[in-house]
Chain A
Amino acid sequence: EIVLTQSPGTLSLSPGERATLSCRASQSVGSNYLAWYQQKPGQAPRLLIYGASSRATGIPDRFSGSGSGTDFTLTIRRLEPEDFAVYYCQQYGDSPPYTFGQGTKLEIK
Chain B
Amino acid sequence: QVQLVQSGAEVKKPGASVKVSCKAYGYNFTKYVMHWVRQAPGQRLEWMGWINAGKGNTKFSQKFQGRVTIIRDTSASTVYMEVSSLRFEDMAVYYCARSRVPITVTTDGSAFDIWGQGTMVTVSS
Smallest CB separation, A49 vs chain B (Å): 8
Of the candidates A50, A99, A101, A103, the one whose C-beta lies within 8 Å of that of B111 is A50
Q: Find out whether the CB atom of A94 lies under 8 angstroms from the CB atom of B111.
A: no
Q: Cα distance A88–B97 when bound, in Å?
A: 15
Q: Would you list which residues of chain B between 41 and 61 have a CB under 8 Å from chain A?
A: 44-47, 49-50, 59-61
* Interface contact A57-B118, CB-CB below 8 Å: no
Number of interface residues of A (CB under 8 A): 26
| B23 CB within 8 Å of chain A | no
Q: Pick the contact of A57 from B46, B95, B113 — CB < 8 Å?
A: B113
The answer to whether B45 and A93 have CB atoms under 8 Å apart is: no
What 0/1 pattern do residues 1 to 45 of A give for CB contact below 8 A with B?
A: 000000000000000000000000000000101010100000011
Which residue of chain A has the shortest Cβ distance to B50 in the bound complex? A96
**Is residue B109 within 8 Å, beta carbon to beta carbon, of the partner chain?**
yes
With contacts A44-B116, A50-B100 taken as known, whether A100 is within 8 angstroms of B111 at the C-beta atoms is no
Chain B residues with a Cβ under 8 A of chain A:
35, 44-47, 49-50, 59-63, 95, 97, 100, 108-113, 115-118
Q: Across chains A and B, which 5 residue pairs bring their CB atoms closest together, nearest first?
A: A44-B115, A50-B111, A35-B111, A100-B45, A97-B61
Q: Which residues of A contact B (CB under 8 A)?
A: 31, 33, 35, 37, 44-47, 50-51, 56-57, 88, 90, 92-103
